[in-house]
Amino acid sequence: MTLTTTPAPGAASLRPPNKLPKPNDACWCGSGKKYKKCHQEADAEFIKDERKRLEANRVRPGRVSPMRTVPESIPKPDYWQTGQPSRGTGRNVRTPEEIERMRAAGAAAARILKLAGAFVKPGISTDDIDAYVHELTIKEGGYPSPLNYRGFPKSVCTSVNEVICHGIPDDRKLLDGDIVNLDVTIFIGGVHGDCNATFGVGTIDEESTQLIRVTHECLMKGIEAVKPGRPISDIGRNIEQHADKYGYGVVRAYCGHGISETFHAPLQIPHYFDARSTTKMEVGMTFTIEPMIALGTWEETTWDDEWTAVTKDLKRTAQFEHTILVTEAGCDILTLEP
């Protein structure tokens, strides 16, 4: 829809911002009028038409192929057959020997993610990506951690457009202009390395380009907050403050987590400021930071498959993730290639 309301001099765009003012606040266009006297009515029409467009173009589930197999020679996590992971040791701090294995697993995950991202292009299916990631993981000598974790049927999560996370690879083909998050985790050396990134498919619009850039910035802002002795809430505070500058939503239903021999250890890392997250960061802790940032609302809903989470307003979302080690000086990112 094209708005017919004339903007104030110098207004950059007739498209309403992600975060709208209250009725009695000054209008976003810079006219000096109250919002209810200026763009509120036109914005309501824009949002209505935008919702129709998003509904028409929403991602829909496709056909899911059978689970892939892993050679007998590959060491496997405890859940590979039953789908039920153990609770692990409950420790948040890792030994030096565990940390070295975590570094190796993180580097392997980073290599796989880099190659998988380069594989993304219009016309391939997310199931094609799953087959490629599965092959790369086995070549590394590892097990794809998502495979049969609590029954997840695939070796990688592929989350397209409004899908926040846990998208199941299927036969839907990627379209020019889509964005897709690839969440890669490998079990190798008895530990998990976990990372993800969002990639543009072909040529993407400016709004999606900015969303991806800002989401990566949010991850790095969160990492900057990692310091021994500080509460975990510092991480979410940094992320939320940066996302707020752009009017973006920070998804609250999913968080970072402790990780080592257990894929998802009990330690939780919210990506928004949560005053209840008072656990102090300690040298030797390993956990993920993986903010999910949405163009619109942070609220989500889940498909009938009980895995695929999507934004309630169907606006796009992006995500980036690293596995982090707390050090005396701050932190190391474990999911980088050496």
DSSP assignment of 61-117 equals --PPPPPPP--TTS---TTTTTS--------SBPPHHHHHHHHHHHHHHHHHHHHHH
| Least confident stretch, 21-30, 46-55, 93-102, 111-120 | 46-55
Is residue 206 helix, strand or coil?
Answer: helix
60-98: b (≥16 Cβ within 10 Å) or e: eeeebeeebebeeebeebebbeeeebeebeebbebeeeb
Fold of 96-333: Creatine Amidinohydrolase (3.90.230)
Average pLDDT estimate for 309-331? 97
Give the number of C-alpha atoms closer than 13 A to the C-alpha of residue 118, restricted to the C-beta side.
6
Rounded to an integer, the average pLDDT of 267-296 is 97
Residue bearing tokens 């850039």 = 213
Segment 158-186 shows an average pLDDT of: 98
24: left (phi over 0), alpha (psi -120 to 50) or beta: alpha
Whether 202 contacts 160, CB under 8 Å: no
288-302 per-position pLDDT tens digit:
999 999 999 999 999
Q: Give the pLDDT of residue 219.
A: 98
For residue 45, the model assigns a pLDDT of 83
Q: Closest Cα to residue 98, out of 258, 277, 281, 322?
A: 258
Q: How confident is the model at residue 143 (pLDDT cuts 50, 70, 90)?
A: very high
Where are the chain's structural domains?
Answer: 1-56, 96-333
| Between residues 40 and 9, the one the model is more confident about | 40
Q: What is the pLDDT of residue 2?
A: 27
- The mean predicted confidence, pLDDT, of the chain is 93
Cβ neighbours for 307, distance < 8 A, ≥ 6 positions apart: 152, 166, 167, 168
Residue-wise pLDDT tens digits, 144-157: 999 999 999 999 99
For residue 13, pLDDT over 90 is answered with no
Checking if the pLDDT of 4 tops 60, the result is no
Spatial CA neighbour of 6 closest among 20, 25, 27: 27
Average the pLDDT over 78-106 and give the result: 94
287, 293, 272: which is closest to 226 by C-alpha?
287
Mean pLDDT is lowest, of 12-21, 110-119, 130-139, for 12-21
- From start to end of 157-259, where are the E strands? 157-160, 163-165, 179-188, 191-200, 249-250, 256-258
Q: Please say if the pLDDT value at position 85 is more than 50.
A: yes
Place of tokens 């970072």: 256
**pLDDT digits 0-9 by tens, 196-231:** 999 999 999 999 999 999 999 999 999 999 999 999
Query: What is the average pLDDT across 15-31?
Result: 88
> 100-131: per-residue pLDDT in tens?
999 999 999 999 999 999 999 999 999 999 99
Residue 195 has pLDDT above 50, yes or no: yes
For 247-259, how does the pLDDT look when each residue is reduced to its tens digit (9 = 90+)?
999 999 999 999 9
The highest-confidence range among 22-31, 47-56, 280-289, by mean pLDDT, is 280-289
Average pLDDT over residues 1-25: 58
pLDDT for position 84: 96
Residue 14 confidence (pLDDT): 67
| pLDDT at position 3 over 70 | no
DSSP track, 219-243 = HHHHHHT--TTSBTHHHHHHHHHHH
